[in-house]
Structure 1
Amino acid sequence: MIVYQQLSEIEIIDNVIGGDIALFEVLIRRYNPYLYKVGRSYGYIHQDVEDLMQETFISAFENLGKLHNKTYFKTWLIRIMLNECYRKSYKAAARKEVMADTFVYEKSTPMFSDNGNDDTEKTVGNRELSSIIENAIRQIPMDYRMVFSLRELNGMSVHETAMALNITETNVKVRLNRAKAMLRKEVEKMYSAEEIFEFNLIYCDKIVENVMARVIKSQKVQNEF
């Protein structure tokens, strides 16, 4: 197998499309934390999020060749996850929250600023999640919740968030500021973004194993025909 450290993400994707499916594990491990935070922010419990993540990665693998601009792989992958989350909630006849984007945009610093460091995947010493924080996030209407998740928990840019949610960049800024106003009292005092909905490496291995097993099985079936 090619040494993936020497490859860019686009090269990894090209190699997976070319038949080196083992490299897909690199992408799974890289984006597990992103998808987990999206699923938890959507309101699903841990076990459901794991299932949604697996389905997302399988769908991404099966449609990887259809991705025209590989630069936006992360955004594309998150949109698949969001679609999986929506389908699950739709099937369960979950209540949809209707929003109005009528709030005035105000310039403000990121809620979880760490001297400009947006690395939301760094190791965090405190692995205990606050139920207060989780409940506060879930109380935010869905449109604001997802913008908050992508921008603050996953460190995505305004442009990436707008693309993932299919809204304007102005709407991203408006919704983020409103979300932060809703959460500031409960969250800003003691917690950093990395401590919310953290995805432990233990679970990462499980997702990788399950997805890669399905990918390999799928490839074997295709090769038989």
Structure 2
Amino acid sequence: MAHSPTETSAGQRELFDSLVRLHADELKRIAYIYVHDHAECEDIVQEVFISCYKNLGNFRQESEYKTWLIRITINKCKDHHRKWNFRNLVYKPVIGLFKTGPSAEDKLMGRHHSQEMIVQISALPAKYKEVLILYYYQDMGVAEISKVLDQNVNTIKTRLQRGRESLKLSLERSKANGSV
């Protein structure tokens, strides 16, 4: 039985509202790790949901909505990077973006570690950065990352390994220079 345009529209609005409630914070964290600016990440997530709303009727159910939204977010972040020269930006501190340990001291140390980790991840090439973000911050498996990024599973495994190595070297250099 065919639905009237009003029924379909109401169902889509309800689905859209649900997607915003379920995924907005998660998409903001992903965008923040890419652009390192709260205002910019808010703008990117708003663009993601505008795209989502416009294309909700065209969603082909080949993946989960979460996977689709993360893919849109990553693409919007890449577009943002193409528009701006980030070498001239100063990174702003991360406050309260990621939850840390239970005690105040643990929270402070965890926040410092998270800040340093985010700065180091942000400095990596995009192909490593996006895999590390999805693997560690979104708890996605290699197969799911492969779908989100539309890349071969072995490519994702290689990028994950190389990204970890690059991050480790970067953190060791940072520690040697006394910034950690």
TM over 0.5: yes
Q: Give matches, 1:1-150, under 5 Å.
A: 17-20=8-11, 21-69=13-61, 71-92=63-84, 124=100, 125=102, 126=107, 129-130=111-112, 131-150=115-134
The number of equivalent residue pairs is 146
1:28-87: CA deviation from partner (whole Å, max 9, x where unpaired): 122123312321232331110011001101210111110111642112111111221122
TM-score normalised per structure 2: 0.68
Report the secondary structure of 1:19's partner residue.
helix
Q: Distance in 2 between matches of 1:17 and 1:123?
A: 39
Please provide the CA RMSD for this pair: 2.8
Relative to structure 1, the CA distance from residue 141 to residue 37 in structure 2 (aligned partners, 3 Å threshold; closer, same or farther) is same
Relative to structure 1, the CA distance from residue 123 to residue 40 in structure 2 (aligned partners, 3 Å threshold; closer, same or farther) is closer
CA shift for structure 1 position 18? 4.5
Q: Mind listing any 5+ residue stretches in structure 1 that lack a counterpart?
A: 1-15, 96-121, 188-225
Which stretch shows the higher mean deviation, 86-95 or 144-153?
Answer: 86-95
Is the Cα contact below 8 Å between 1:144 and 1:176 reproduced in 2? Answer: yes
AA of the residue aligned to 2:132:
F
TM-score normalised per structure 1: 0.56
Whichever structure has more helix as a proportion of its residues is 2
Q: Which has the higher contact order (CA 8 A, sep 6+)?
A: 1
Q: Distance in 2 between matches of 1:184 and 1:174?
A: 15
Is the Cα contact below 8 Å between 2:71 and 2:149 reproduced in 1? Answer: yes
Is the Cα contact below 8 Å between 1:56 and 1:81 reproduced in 2? Answer: yes
Aligned twin of 1:163: 147
Relative to structure 1, the CA distance from residue 171 to residue 71 in structure 2 (aligned partners, 3 Å threshold; closer, same or farther) is closer
Q: Distance in 2 between matches of 1:133 and 1:41?
A: 10
CA shift for structure 1 position 151? 1.2
CA shift for structure 1 position 23? 4.6
Q: Distance in 2 between matches of 1:135 and 1:88?
A: 18
Identity over aligned pairs, percent: 29
AA of the residue aligned to 1:91:
K
Q: Mind listing any 5+ residue stretches in structure 2 that lack a counterpart?
A: 1-6, 88-97, 173-180
Q: Distance in 1 between matches of 2:41 and 2:10?
A: 28
